[in-house]
Each structure stands twice: as structure tokens, then as C-alpha cells.
Structure 1
Amino acid sequence: MADKRVALEEAVSSLESGMTIGIGGWGSRRKPMALVREILRRDDLTDLTVVAFGGPDVGLLAAAGRIRRLVYGFVSLDSIALDPHFTRTRERGELEVEEYDEGMFVLGLRAAGARLDFLPTRAGIGSDVMTANPHLRTVRSPYSEEEYVAMPAFDIDVALVHLNRADAQGNAQYLGPDPYFDDLFAMAAARTIVSAERIVPTAELLSEGSFHTLLFSRMYASAVVEAPGGAHFTTCAPDYERDEPFQRHYAAAAKDPELWAAFERTFLQTDEAGYRGAVARFHAEQGES
């Protein structure tokens, strides 16, 4: 079986401007932040359509001007209600947006995974979702007089997901409380890049969890990246929880241009090793272990 392990830089080098990128995770939970940070290091990677239950991934990419169009159910930092970068770009009208009810968003993923044009739903009928998304159409049931919203499939070029464990072939495992629809992103996309806290031999995948934790098989993975701390500063339970002090620092810096310039210099204008070192120094300066 093919060994799909690649370095972080090589994985992101396969992305191109103008692509539609699906980003797994949920809010500020198990986001593929190492992959997102690597996108930010690629100055030539722009004009992206991002499909996500957004968190700091969306905030960072929006702040850097990398997103042209955003398809989303929400954008939140969880313990902080709103991402300041997203809020500002949204209020200024700097993004093309498609905002959906969360159930409709999931149906967009499921339709793509099933290779269907759409899936019918009652969600959205009689709501402003239809007004905000005038491209949406309704369909009448062939079996009754019921009318449904035809939720279109999301056309995703590449999905980015972060899991607790994976093997070299791309079998992916989550060990936390929720899969966050990462399997649906993988099935919906033409390609999927999996980053994981640890890459382990296939036989060891069941040493920390039952077979129910094997979220998706190698058939959906195009590349596998070992990225310890790859979801930081979002949570990646049980490996680590959200870095709340750092998230508060991020949110505060995002509200002030001078503070944000310093944040970028310290944490983003460096490689992953530099990022981890800067985070360690941040906590040391805060008097934390």
C-alpha cells in the first residue's frame, strides 16, 4: 500500500490559487492550524473559496486577504463568541459569503460525498437563508405535495483535516468527543490532506481507541502529514485542550493594528518550529509552565 507521508511544506505546495478548500474541525476545535499557517507562508496562494464551520482558521486567512468567498455555518472561537478578524472583514463587505443553517451546511457536504447535485431539506423554508442565498431553489416531492429546499452539493477541491492519529496510508483516527464532520469533508472533496498528532503503524491504531474511532479510511486521503501540536491553539482532546491564554492573546491582538503586526512578526512570520518556540516563550512570559 502507498506511503502517503509528506512534509507540511510539500502538502501545501499542492494547493493552487482559486481553489475551493474545505477546512475540517468546528469553531476553535481540532482545526488543521499547522496547514493553515503553512498556507499563510505561501504569499502566492490567494483567491480561495473556503468551506468551513469556521474558527481561527477563517480569521487568519481572512486577515491575510486569502479568502475571496466564504461558505460557512458560523465562525466562532467558542469560548470567545466571535473571531475579530472575520467580524471586521464581514462587516466591511470584503468577502463574498454564503451563510447557511448548520443542518443545510452538513447536507451540502453529504450531497457532495454522495456525488449528488443536491439533497432536499425543510431547513431554510420561510427563513432569511433563502433571501441571503438567492441561488437556492426549491423542489416538489414526486410522492406528495411537499416542497423542499434543494441544498446544493459543495464542490470542494481539497479538504484539510487534523486528526489525533493516522497511519502512513491515510487511515485516520479521532480520539476526542466528536468527529466534527471531518469524515464528511474528506468524502466531499476531490482530495484530502490529513495532518495528525502522530503517525503510527496501522496495527497500533486500535491501541488507544476502538474501531469506532477510525473516522475514515485511506481511500479518502491523498497526503498525510505528521504535525504534533498541529491544531494549536484550538483543542485537540485528549492530546491537549484549547490554549485559552493564547487564544485571548490572538483575539486581543486582532482588534488592534499595532498589536496584530507584532503578533504576525512573532508567531506567523516563521516556520512551525519557530511558531512552537514563540508559543513556549509567550507562556513563559506569562508565568505559565
Structure 2
Amino acid sequence: MSDKTMPLTELPRHIESGMTLGIGGWGSRRKPMAAVRELLRSDVTDLTVVTLGGPDVGLLCAAGKVRKLVYGFVSLDSIPLDPHFRAARESGSIDTSEYDEGMFVTALRAGANRLSFLPTRAGLESDVMAMNPELKTVTSPYTDEDYVAVPGVRMDVALIHLNRSDAAGNGQYLGPDPYFDDLFAMASDTTFLSTEKVVPTPELGAGGPPQSLLLSRMFVDGVIEAPHGAHFTGCEPDYGRDEAFQQHYATAAKDPESWQRFTRTFLTGDEASYLAAVADFHSSHKEQAS
């Protein structure tokens, strides 16, 4: 099996402005945040982002890198809405295709199967149809039932974060939910997998049940070892969501001056600098609490 490992800093070389970018994870859970931060350090812009969003969307919107967002929701889970996303949505600075969650997953499934659309009942007789006037319905050839014909979504590149991977790109999740990371990979022309740890292939089988082996190497083009690469979202069971830091992010996002300070402190350096700044934040947080 070929070795697909690569440094995080190489990632922006594979992503061009104007591409459609899929981002795995769910809300503020197991997001490929190290990969997103690396894009923030690049000149990539004009992206169409496809995601069940969290702070990945917020950070990319704050940096002006999003042209269009295709999404089912954008939430920080313990905080209902990402503030940067809300500002972009309310100002109309980004185009959107806002789907019901069931419709969003249907779009991924269609893309993964290279179909132009798939039918679903999700969204029928709802405001989703009014918000997306380009959506069409289709009548079943077997009954008189009508369905929403959700167009398949294909992505140029997908970014995914999992707990473990081997060097060839066989990826394993160890938490409670696979989310839809496998569909993102199958619906994308190129997939980059960041992982908490690259391990020898036999350790994957020993580390969890067969169903935890979510991604086959055939769908993965690059493997990036990135410990704490999902921070500040959670990556169970390795670590939970960093609620204190997430609250700091959300508070800073509401004020331009505070956001400039946040950016200078956490987002201007490399990934090692980010993790060191986060450690300093928690050290100061503990001192203030004691």
C-alpha cells in the first residue's frame, strides 16, 4: 500500500480558489479544524463550501473565503448559531442553498453515487422549497406520489478528520457517530484525511470493531497527522469539545476589536503556535478562576 502521508502545510497547494469544498464532521463535533486553519493562512478564496457546519464555516466566512454555502445547519451545538455565519447570512455577503438535513444527506448520497438527483419526501410542503426555488419535484413512475428531486452534490475536495488512520488512508472513527464523512469522501474528487494519529494498519483492526473502519484508502488522497486537529470541536474519545475556548471564540466574534485580538493571538501563526496559544489561554483561565 502506498504511503499518502503529507504535512499539513502542503494542503493549500491542492485547493484552488473557486473550488467546491466539502467539510466533514457535524456542527462543533470532529471538524477538520487544523485543515481549516491552514486554509485561513493561504490565499485561497471564492469557495463553495458544503457542510453540516460549525466553526469551520464561521472562520472561513470571517476570513472572506466563502462565496456560497450549501448546508443543513451551522451550529456550535452548545451555542445555537456561529456568530460569523449569522453575520454573513444576515448581511447577504454569501450565497446559500439551505436544505433540510434529510435533503442535505440525500444530496450527498446522490453525489456519492454519481447521480444527478435522488428523490426524497424531506422538504415537501415546507419553506425549504420556497427558499430554494431551483428545486424541482418528480412523480414516481410506480405511484402517484411526488417527491423532492434533490440535486446530487459533487465536490472538488473534501476535508475530514478521524481518530486514527494508517499511512495508506484507511480511516477509523472511535467516537459515537460516523456522521456522514464517508459520503463526503465518496462525493468528492479528492479527499484529505487529517487524523489524531497515524498507526500501522494492524492497529486499526485491534483498536475498534469493523464498522469503525469508516474510510477505505481508495477514497483518500492524502493523510495528515494532526494531534488535536479537531480543536476546538470535539473528537471523542480522544477529547471533548473545548467549551471554554469555544465561548471565547463566540464572544470575540461579536466585536471587531476583540476579533482582531483573537486573530492575532490564535490565527496568525502556524499550527504549533495555535496549540501553544490555546494552552496559554487555559493556563490564564485557570489562574483567573482560582
Q: Deviations over 1:35-82 (max 9, x none)?
A: 00000000x200000000000000000011000000000000001111
Distance 1:170 1:224 in 2: 6
| Count of matched residue pairs | 288
Mapped contact 2:166–2:201 kept (Cα < 8 A): yes
Q: Counterpart in 1 of 2:33?
A: 33
Match of 1:64 in 2: 63
TM-score (norm: length of structure 2): 0.98
Residue 22 (structure 1) aligned with residue 38 (structure 2): no
Query: 1:97 aligns to what?
Result: 96
The answer as to whether partners of 2:117 and 2:150 remain within 8 angstroms in 1 is yes
2:136 — aligned with what? 137
| Equivalent runs, 1:101-180 vs 2, <5 Å | 101-180=100-179
CA deviation after TM superposition for structure 1 residue 207, in Å: 2.3
Confirm or deny that 1:74 pairs with 2:68: no
Given the alignment of the two structures, is residue 3 of structure 1 paired with residue 3 of structure 2, yes or no? yes
What percent of counterpart residues are identical? 65
- What is the alpha-carbon distance in structure 2 between the residues aligned to residue 159 and residue 135 of structure 1? 25
One-letter amino acid matched to 1:21: L
* 1:11 CA drift (Å): 2.3
Q: What CA distance in whole angstroms lies between the structure 2 residues aligned with 1:221 and 1:244?
A: 31
CA RMSD after TM alignment: 1.0
Aligned partner letter, 1:10? E
Cα distance in structure 2, aligned partners of 1:28 and 1:19: 23
Please state if 1:222 is matched with 2:221: yes
1:125, 1:82 → 2: CA distance?
Answer: 25
SS class of match (1:4) = coil
Match for 2:60: what amino acid? L
Report what 2:251 is aligned to.
Answer: 252
2:208 aligned counterpart, secondary structure: coil
2:136, 2:168 → 1: CA distance? 40
Please give the alpha-carbon distance, in whole angstroms, between the structure 1 residues aligned to 2:276 and 2:114.
Answer: 43
Q: In the alignment, which residue of structure 2 is the partner of 1:212?
A: 211
Counterpart contact for 2:112–2:154, Cα < 8 Å:
no
Equivalence for 2:271: 272
Q: Which letter maps to 2:165?
A: A
Q: Is the CA contact (8 Å cut-off) linking 2:11 and 2:38 kept in structure 1?
A: no
Distance 1:127 1:135 in 2: 14
Q: 1:132 deviation in Å?
A: 0.6
Determine helix, strand or coil for the equivalent of 1:179: coil
- Give me the whole-angstrom Cα distance separating, in 1, the residues matched to 2:39 and 2:164: 22
1:14-45 superposed Cα distances (whole Å, 9 cap, x missing partner): 10000000000000000000000000000x20
Letter in 1 for 2:184: F
Cα deviations by residue, 1:165-210 (Å, 9 ceiling, x for unpaired): 0000000000000011001101111111000000000011122211
1:287 partner SS: helix
SS at 1:22 equivalent:
strand
Instruction: For residue 12 of structure 1, report the CA deviation from its aligned partner.
Output: 2.6
Query: Matched residue of 1:286: which SS?
Result: helix
Tell me by how many angstroms 1:235 deviates. 0.2
CA drift of 1:144 comes to 1.2
Match of residue 183 from structure 1: 182
Distance in 1 of aligned mates of 2:103 and 2:12 = 29
Structure 1 residue 216: Cα displacement: 1.4
Q: Which runs of 5+ in 2 are unaligned?
A: none
